[in-house]
A and B are shown apart, each in its own frame.
Chain A
Amino acid sequence: MIHSLFLINCSGDIFLEKHWKSVVSQSVCDYFFEAQEKAADVENVPPVISTPHHYLISIYRDKLFFVSVIQTEVPPLFVIEFLHRVADTFQDYFGECSEAAIKDNVVIVYELLEEMLDNGFPLATESNILKELIKPPTILRSVVNSITGSSNVGDTLPTGQLSNIPWRRAGVKYTNNEAYFDVVEEIDAIIDKSDDVSFHPCIRFKRWESERVLSFIPPDGNFRLISYRVSSQNLVAIPVYVKHCISFKENSSCGRFDITIGPKQNMGKTIEGITVTVHMPKVVLNMNLTPTQGSYTFDPVTKVLTWDVGKITPQKLPSLKGLVNLQSGAPKPEENPSLNIQFKIQQLAISGLKVNRLDMYGEKYKPFKGVKYVTKAGKFQVRT
């Protein structure tokens, strides 16, 4: 299936390669670079590229390209999903998935890649299993290892690998047993939502189907239990509104920009962490604005305006006003830019979803239970 993997940074350097079958030359990446050049924007590089002898399937994550080389028919999503899993694993091990982190830990990266695929077919992708096979780097451990000469590599097969519950290793013991639930909801303002759920494999599907109860043996550590989508009918409450007035004068080198944000249906909770991002039209040279609250930046190269608003206090609504300098002589932009809004509301799940009860069976101790609710903006776009 997956023949080779190349990691490429934004400036086009191949800084890591790994082959699971015979070696494929780096030169195969030239086809990728060609496509990248054609696409202009990194986001537009096609995930699947056909070359005379191979197929390249790539993902773009954290400013890195993961380019895999394929020789025969394979479901593209299989490879894409796997590559994301690799990136997730790096994130998990090194705290970030960056070129520096990967280069610093190249041996662990190599050991991981070796365990994750055999002959191009995924072998161990559960983080629990991998962590037993290859220990994540910590400062303490590397000091101890250098003194004692012990290693980061486990020498027995992780029990999870053999069981039907690969997500939990055997014999987990803690003095404090805690179960926390973070209910994180994201509001998507253009896309409709309807109820649909996806589960972590630990959830027993039949119980959910018949009793609408989530019954599971939890993995050890953080994990995503379920993802759900709620129909938009329940979500008439959109927590913020935006008043906007953006105009560009014909035959003039300036325009006006004025936006105000206010709370709406926030159910008594504070809306915080508000950020507004606007992709201004190309003819905008600079912006001269005054925020009543927070701070703003405008990048004249990418033409992205970012306004970090913070909290909304209903007494004084935050606004951002000022002038826009346009390239003189260029025609005025035809369309006003869309506003992308980020925000957070603590202690609120806007769909009304609630963790009703947590029962635990088969253990004598009582775990500490905690539930946290957060509502966030997902892809929240306001057309102006």
Chain B
Amino acid sequence: VRCQHYPPVRALQASAALRRATDEHKEPLTSSSQQHFGSPPADHQPEQERHGPSYTGQGGQESEDYESEEQLQHRILTAALEFVPEHGWTAEAIAEGAKTLGLSVAAAGMFHSDGSELVLHFVSECNTKLSKLLEKEQKLVQLGEAEKKPIDEFLRDAVEARLRMLIPYIEKWPQALSVLLLPRNIPSSLSLLTSMIDDIWHYAGDQSTDFSWYTRRAVLSGIYNTTELVMMQDSSPGFEDTWRFLGNRVADAMAMSNTASQVQSTGEAVVQGLMGAAVTVSNAETCRAVR
């Protein structure tokens, strides 16, 4: 039996009451929805304990309420993802998501009518999942239970894992890409992309501090974006064409870096040869002059 504690301060009373009611009914169901999205439904117990004295500042709520508003928005967006294959990345999907949480469909008015927040939320959730996956793999390597992969295999597996998260929504993903490219969303989508690439390189063991840090990120972003686009119009079974394309691009990148260092050492050799020739010629001149 849950202790029904009604905090005396202003809290998200309506939705909190709903959650108390539905949590009691939905215990067996939450585990199945969790495995899809990886983020557990916001636990309302710590929310209640967090309430201190409340005051309404100029034009805002106190920090605890603001946090729980965001959590509620997260929950709505997570619930809305289920309806994306049917309704697309739109306010309608968000409205359906709100309905499953027991809220009115008007709650979708909290978000933009073009579904931007839904797409950004999904991308950020995928990035978090990827981070956790890479961290787990790293732990296994550290414990000695798995072998450390060579760099090209690591990159290929990481990008493939991340792109596989798109498969349930692949039909509506072009719409999501167009939403991410809206001028209003470009700062957020760009920062999500760069932080994901950073994560992958970090777990790949990259500790460079010179210019190669930038080139590595640029190269991997290029690989990721082009593979994503190929995946959009890939109709082969299990997306095998996409994974083959990815493997080729990663191999190209590795070869390019080898070529680069080869070119550099060849260049050095050529310069040394020229220097040697110059010295020989000048010596020969002096000898001839002396003789």
A interacts with B: no
